[in-house]
Chain A
Amino acid sequence: MSKLLKLGILLLISLTVLAGCGGSGGSGGEQTGGSNDNGGSEGEVTELTFWTFVGLHIEFFEEGVRSWNETYPDRQIKLNAESFPYDEMHNNLLLALQSGVGAPDIVDIEINRFPNFLQGDIQLEPLNDIIEPVAEDFVQSRFEIYSKDGQFYGAPTHVGASVAFYNTEIFNAAGVSPDDIDTWDDFVEIGKVIKAETDTPMTVAYTSGFWNFYPMISQRGSDIFDSNGDVILDNQDNIEVLQLIHDMVYEHEISVLAPGGNHNNEEFFAFMNGGGAASLIMPSWYASRFVEHMPDQSGNFVMKPMPRWEEGGFRSAGMGGTGTAVTKQSEHIELAKEFLAHAKLTEEANINIWKILGFDPPMHTVWESPELREPNRFTEYFGDGLFDMLLEIKDEINPLNITNNTPLARDLIETNVLHNTLRERSQTPEEALKQAADELRNR
Chain B
Amino acid sequence: MIKKTIQKIFFIYLVIITNASALIEIDITEGNREPLPIAVTNFFYAEDAIKDIDQISIDVSKVISADLERSGLFKSIDQEAFIQKTASMHIRPRHEDWRLINAQALVTGELEVDNDKLRVEFRLWDTFAEKEIEALVLITTIDNWRRISHMIADKIYERLTGEEGYFDTRILYVSENGPKNNRIKKLAIMDQDSFNHRYLTSGKELVLTPRFNPVKQEITYLSYFKNLPRVYLLDIQTGIQEVVGDFPGMTFAPRFSPDGEKIIMSLARDGNSDIYVMDIKSRVVERLTDSPAIDTSPSYSPDGKKITFNSDRGGSQQIYVMDNKGRNQTRISRGTGNYATPVWSPRGDLIAFTKNFQGRYFIGVMRTDGTGERLLTENWYQEAPSWSSNGRVLIFYRETKADDTGKGHSSSLWSIDLTGFNERKIETPEDASDPSWSRLIQ
Q: Do A and B bind each other?
A: no
A residues with CB within 8 A of B: none
B residues with CB within 8 A of A: none
